[in-house]
């Protein structure tokens, strides 16, 4: 008998028919002799609708009330899923985050889990029941309802899998796994059978939309194997797990792109110590999440500092830089929305030199200019014009032969 | 400084604009130096929508999950109202039934309040905050979320008013008070300034839709004065309170009608002891709520038993009677959907003979046949054909001169 934690996202339970389809699948899993815990998101676009309702009523949107409002979506979904399970003869109980023992800090709208005490879940399982838990929610150390943030249901699932010592944690979603590239951009993109936590994290950071990055970090830190798979076709998907020596080692596993960032260039700054520190401290104080940073020294003794930020933070970032313009003696602050990043990710890159050269050559052969470069041990990211990013992804996917099982370089 | 408990129904908080309008009114009440506790229903038709969703997903609809589902509606409403209050500078916190200390029995979908421990509400009030409580919900003695049933937000408000020793309990709704008759039927209908609990209860039982009967019973039993009034015009409405000797005593206070029942006649039953007992025991065992009962002995030594039931129970009631037909030797079971009741209600009826004669004469003068009669000390109800019920209401309203302040007979 295995204990399986299953996570179903909003699209997977988007309407009554989908609810019943998920219930049917859970029932089959139970019938095969497994214990099942389900973490479920709000139905369809309900979270967006609740956020819209809040913005119609209030411009202040206090965190405590936002969390009470938003978690109502998951409560509905979990109750409905339990009803659907009852209907087909599967005993089940629903549990709020609080009832499931998910204790968080007091940071409303983006609470972090501090402890999981799943006594009621264990009891339900011992009674032969399926436990359905409302995703992305918990109870804070001062007894308030908290929301874990967007994508928090993945975290709920992973945290429960860890606390319960589950045999696997299955992330059911509207895609059938993690791909070598976005199949809409690269028709030859291939579903990956396995991926290491580190690769998945780099992919999340570089624009791959599923699963939520925080849940992968949590899974890696606690050694919880994830299986990302489809709630529509139910076929096996992609396993995300600890990198092992016997793992078939791809040099490059995937190509991702991200068009959600913008670039700021602070041009003509005197090449003094402390200038960058002053600038990035000011940005940090405004909670702006700076991603890539590049600094070039020109011959004239001045330097250009470029950095990328989430597009929605661009105006604040530019205003911050402009406020400092006189102090740091910058010549100009330039905002650029028309950029995108393209990344290659692979655990094998660590031990294979020459990958970066192949990437740069490939882009050059396409006539694509590289504006910024950033690297980690298993990722290489280039900033390019946003209009050529799909072309860059397709070219790199071909260059690294990702359409076939083994990657060559 | 007064402590006011305000109840707002679904129509009163039906959309974002209405939310803000209610918040504005609460803010004005606070500004005048009052402490305010709000009990709020789910927005608009949300409870109906949740019920529909449940019926799409499940035919069993287990009570525990139904309560979890339905109470999500009030959670949304309370959080949104708090946000709207914050926006206009009124400190406030929202509370679920559980957080508000509303402890119920374990009867899901129609739980009864067993205790109110409003410590967190008292604390919020002491901190100068408005407490917004999700209506119609509580936590059961075995720690499950419970729903108090339709109209339960009225009960929440009354229970909180009693537990907190509030100075008044205001039931804000989409009508401006309780009327001498339905103003759609009788244009001369007059809003009543005061009404005794007993009169209000009889009116609820005889078809007056607001407030919920259970909350009036609770209010009467605990001596909580109610003020039924409009959340749209905000004008003073109708006070419902203990009958006092100095209360201006109307003989007849109001005329109501009810078209939600149907009549069953079990005809030609031998006039033996125990026949009625057998029939009504069988109906009770199927949880059919029988309202009026009438039995006539005919000259032939057989009797006709007629009774009324809610229209949705008519089929079950007839089937039950037909199953017994042979055993009780009944000649025939006749179902009749085309009936309605018309009632006159007034605390003064107790001490004024001749009211019934006036009622019967009035109906006779209109050519309206009376099919059944039922009485209490302060109510007189006649069953008539449904197509003439509005005519009956209008005629009785005129006959008892309800359009003017004092009622004569």
CATH number (domain holding residue A14)? 3.40.1160.10
Q: What is the percentage of chain B residues whose pLDDT exceeds 90?
A: 79
pTM of the model: 0.86
Residue A34 inside a domain? The answer is: yes
Residues B112, B115, B117, B121: is their CA dihedral positive or negative?
Answer: positive
Q: DSSP letter at A43?
A: S
- Residue B350: per-residue pLDDT: 80
Chain A CB contacts of B19 under 8 Å are 57
Residue B25 lies in a domain: yes
Has residue A7 been placed in a domain? yes
Residue of chain B whose alpha carbon sits nearest to that of A21: B57
Residues of chain A found within 8 Å of residue B68, distances taken between Cβ atoms:
75, 78-79, 82, 94, 96
Report, as an integer, the average pLDDT of B24-40.
Answer: 97
Per the CB < 8 Å rule, is B80 touching A69? Answer: yes
**Which residues are within 8 A (CB) of A134 and not within 5 positions of it... i.e. 6 or more apart?**
A39, A40, A71, A74, A75, A77, A78, A94, A95, A96, A97, A100, A156
Report d(CA A371, CA A385) in Å as an integer.
8
- The model's pLDDT over A66-84, given as tens digits with 9 standing for 90+, comes to 999 999 999 999 999 999 9
Tokens of B240: 């419902």
Contact B69 A83 (CB under 8 A): yes
- Which chain B residues have a beta carbon less than 8 Å from that of A20? 57
- A57 min Cα distance to partner chain B (Å): 5
Helix ranges (DSSP H) in B328-402: 355-365, 389-399
pLDDT higher than threshold 70 for residue B407: no
Rounded to 5 degrees, φ, ψ at B152 are -70, -20
Mind telling me how many Å the CA of B88 is from chain A's nearest CA? 9
Do residues B74 and B10 make contact, with C-beta atoms less than 8 angstroms apart? Answer: no
Cis peptide before A144 (omega within 30 of 0): no
- B57-84 average pLDDT score: 96
Q: In the A/B pair of chains, how many CB contacts fall below 8 A?
A: 116
The CA distance from B270 to A233, in Å, is 67
Residue at B58 is within a domain: yes
Mean pLDDT of the B131-148 span:
96
Q: pLDDT tens, A246-275?
A: 555 678 999 999 999 999 999 988 887 788
Nearest to A49, CA basis, from A69, A79, A67: A69
A62-100 burial string, b = 16+ CB within 10 Å, else e?
bbbbbbbbbbbbbbbbbbbbbbbbbbeebebbbbbbbbb
**A chain contacts of residue B91, beta-carbon cutoff 8 Å:** none
Work out the burial of residue B252: count CB atoms within 10 Å of its CB; fewer than 13 is exposed, 13-18 middle, 19 or more buried: buried
Whether residue B76 and residue A69 make contact (CB cut-off 8 A), yes or no, is: yes
pLDDT exceeding 70 applies to what percent of chain A?
Answer: 97
Any residues with CB less than 8 A from the CB of B140 and at least 6 apart, and which?
B103, B104, B105, B106, B108, B111, B146
Task: Check if B244 contacts A (Cβ < 8 Å).
Answer: no
Task: Name every chain B residue with its beta carbon within 8 A of the beta carbon of A68.
Answer: 75, 78-79, 82, 94, 96
Is the pLDDT at B355 greater than 80? The verdict is yes
Q: What is the mean pLDDT of residues A333-356?
A: 90
Pinpoint the alpha helices (H) of A97-251: 119-126, 152-164, 197-205, 213-222
CA distance A10 to chain B (A): 16
CB contacts of B40 in chain A (<8 Å) are none
What backbone phi and psi angles, to 5 degrees, belong to A230? -90, 135
Chain B CA closest to residue A95:
B68
**Residue A198 placed within a domain:** no
A267 close to B (CB below 8 A): no
Residue A323 — very low, low, confident or very high, per pLDDT cuts 50/70/90?
A: very high
More confident: A212 or B75 = B75
Q: What is the mean pLDDT of residues B292-318?
A: 87
Judging contacts by C-beta atoms under 8 Å, the chain A residues touching residue B81 are 57
Strand order in the sheet with A168-173: A92-95, A130-134, A35-40, A3-8, A168-173, A226-230, A238-241, A194-196
Residue A212 has pLDDT above 50, yes or no: yes
User: A152-164 vs A213-222: helix axis angle to the nearest 10?
Assistant: 10
pLDDT tier, B191 (very low <50, low <70, confident <90, very high otherwise): very high
pLDDT given for residue B246 in this prediction: 58
Residues of B in contact with A108 (CB under 8 A): none
Q: Which residues of B touch A71 (CB under 8 A)?
A: 75
pLDDT digit string, tens, across residues B212-269: 889 999 999 999 999 999 999 999 999 999 987 655 567 899 999 999 999 999 998 9
**Total count of residues recorded for chain B:** 409
Min Cα–Cα distance to chain B from A73, Å: 8
B80 with A65: Cβ contact below 8 A = yes
Q: Is A93 close to B59, i.e. CB distance below 8 A?
A: no
Q: Is the pLDDT of residue B125 over 90?
A: yes
Identify the pLDDT of residue B365: 94
Q: Are B159 and B219 in contact (CB under 8 A)?
A: no
ipTM: 0.82
Cα-based angle A376, A377, A381 (whole degrees, multiple of 5): 40
In this structure, is residue B99 part of a structural domain?
yes
Burial class (CB in 10 A: 0-12, 13-18, 19+), B119: exposed
Q: What is the pLDDT of residue A249?
A: 66
Task: Please identify which residue in the block is written with the tokens 């109610």.
Answer: B226
Q: Are B142 and B54 in contact (CB under 8 A)?
A: no
Q: Per residue in A376-397, pLDDT tens? A: 888 999 999 999 999 999 999 9
The yes-or-no verdict on residue A51 having pLDDT over 90 is: yes
For the cut 50, the answer to whether the pLDDT of residue A407 exceeds it is: no
Residue A17 pLDDT > 70: yes
pLDDT at A245: 65
Cα of A318 to nearest chain B Cα, Å = 29
pLDDT value of residue A287: 86
Q: Name the average pLDDT for chain A.
A: 92
d(CA B215, CA B159): 8
* Unique residue bearing structure tokens 């998910």: A102
Instruction: Give yes or no for a contact between B14 and B44, defined as CB atoms under 8 angstroms apart.
Output: yes
Judge whether residue B295 has pLDDT over 90. Answer: no
Nearest-angstrom CA–CA distance, B381 and B257: 9
- What single string gives the DSSP state of each residue in B54-112? HHHH-SS--HHHHHHHHHHHHHHHHHHHHHHHHHTT--EEEE-TTTTTEEE-S-TTS--
How big is the CA angle at A387 (ends A306 and A381), to the nearest 5 degrees? 45
- In chain A, the number of structural domains is 1
A-proximal residues of B, 189-228, CB under 8 Å? none
Chain A interface includes B290 (CB < 8 A):
no
pLDDT bucket at A408, cuts 50 / 70 / 90: very low
Strand positions, DSSP E, A242-292: 254-258, 261-270
- Chain A CB within 8 Å of residue B56 CB: yes
Mean pLDDT of B115-139: 97
Contacts 24+ apart (CB under 8 A), A364-367: A365/A395, A366/A391, A366/A392, A366/A395
In a domain, B38, yes or no: yes
Which residue range is the domain that position A97 belongs to? 3-174
> For residue B53, is it within any domain?
yes
- Choose the closest CB to B57 out of A16, A53, A71: A16
Omega prior to B211 cis, within 30 of 0: yes
Nearest CA in chain A to B134: A68
pLDDT at B408: 36
Nearest to B58 among A56, A71, A86 (CB): A86
Chain B positions touching A19 (Cβ under 8 A) are 57
Question: Residues of A with CB below 8 A from B18's CB?
Answer: none
Q: For residue B104, what are the contacts with CB-CB under 8 A and spacing of at least 6?
A: B97, B111, B112, B113, B114, B138, B139, B140, B141, B146, B148
Distance CA B368, CA B387 (A): 10
Residue A406: per-residue pLDDT: 54
Q: From the candidates B68, B69, B70, B119, which should be mutated to test the interface with A, based on the most A CB atoms within 10 A?
A: B68
* Contacts with A300 (C-beta within 8 Å, 6 or more apart), sequence order: none
Whether the predicted pLDDT of A141 surpasses 70:
yes
- Please determine, for residue B409, whether its predicted confidence score (pLDDT) is greater than 70: no
Nearest CB to A80: which of B54, B76, B84?
B54
* Rounded Cα gap, residues B259 and B199, in angstroms: 20
Q: B96 to chain A: which residues are within 8 Å by CB?
A: 68
Answer whether A187 touches B (CB < 8 Å). Answer: no
What's the confidence (pLDDT) of residue A20?
A: 97
Alpha carbons B69 and A76: distance in angstroms, whole number: 5
Q: Note the pLDDT of residue A33.
A: 96
- pLDDT value of residue B143: 93
CB-closest option in B58, B72, B83 to A84: B58
Cα gap B152→B214, rounded to integer Å:
8
């Amino acid at each position: 008998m295995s204990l399986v934690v299953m996570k179903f996202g909003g699209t997977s339970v988007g309407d009554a028919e989908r609810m019943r389809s998920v219930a049917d699948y859970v029932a089959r899993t139970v019938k095969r002799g497994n214990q099942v815990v389900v973490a479920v998101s709000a139905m369809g676009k309900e979270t967006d609708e609740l956020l819209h309702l809040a913005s119609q009523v209030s411009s202040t949107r206090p965190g405590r009330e936002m969390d009470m409002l938003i978690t109502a979506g998951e409560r509905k979904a979990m109750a409905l899923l339990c009803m659907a399970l009852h209907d087909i003869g599967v005993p089940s109980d629903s549990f709020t985050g609080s009832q499931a023992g998910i204790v968080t800090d007091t940071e409303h709208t983006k609470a972090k889990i501090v402890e999981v005490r799943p006594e009621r879940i264990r009891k339900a399982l011992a009674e032969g029941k399926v436990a359905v838990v409302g995703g992305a929610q918990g109870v804070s150390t001062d007894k308030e309802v908290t929301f874990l943030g967007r994508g928090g249901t993945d975290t709920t699932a992973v945290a429960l899998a860890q606390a319960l010592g589950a045999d696997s944690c299955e992330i059911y979603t509207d895609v059938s796994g993690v791909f070598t590239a976005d199949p809409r951009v690269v028709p030859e993109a291939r579903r990956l059978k396995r991926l290491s936590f580190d690769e998945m994290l780099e992919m999340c950071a570089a624009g791959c939309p599923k699963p939520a990055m925080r849940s992968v970090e949590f899974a890696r830190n606690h050694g919880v194997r994830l299986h990302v798979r489809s709630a529509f076709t139910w076929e096996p998907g992609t396993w995300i797990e600890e990198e092992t020596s016997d793992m078939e080692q791809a040099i490059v596993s995937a190509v991702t792109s991200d068009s959600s960032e913008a670039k700021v260039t602070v041009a003509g700054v005197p090449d003094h110590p402390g200038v960058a520190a002053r600038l990035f401290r000011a940005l940090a104080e405004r909670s702006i999440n700076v991603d890539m940073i590049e600094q070039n020294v020109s011959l004239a003794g001045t330097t250009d500092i470029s950095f990328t930020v989430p597009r929605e933070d661009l105006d604040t970032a530019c205003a911050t830089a402009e406020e400092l313009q006189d102090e740091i003696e910058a010549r100009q602050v330039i905002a650029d929305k028309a950029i995108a990043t393209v990344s290659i990710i692979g655990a094998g890159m660590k031990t294979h030199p020459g990958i970066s050269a192949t990437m740069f050559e490939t882009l050059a052969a396409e006539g694509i200019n590289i504006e910024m470069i950033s690297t980690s041990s298993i990722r290489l990211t280039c900033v390019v014009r946003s209009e050529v990013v799909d072309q860059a992804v397709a070219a790199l996917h071909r260059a690294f032969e990702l359409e076939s099982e083994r990657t060559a370089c």
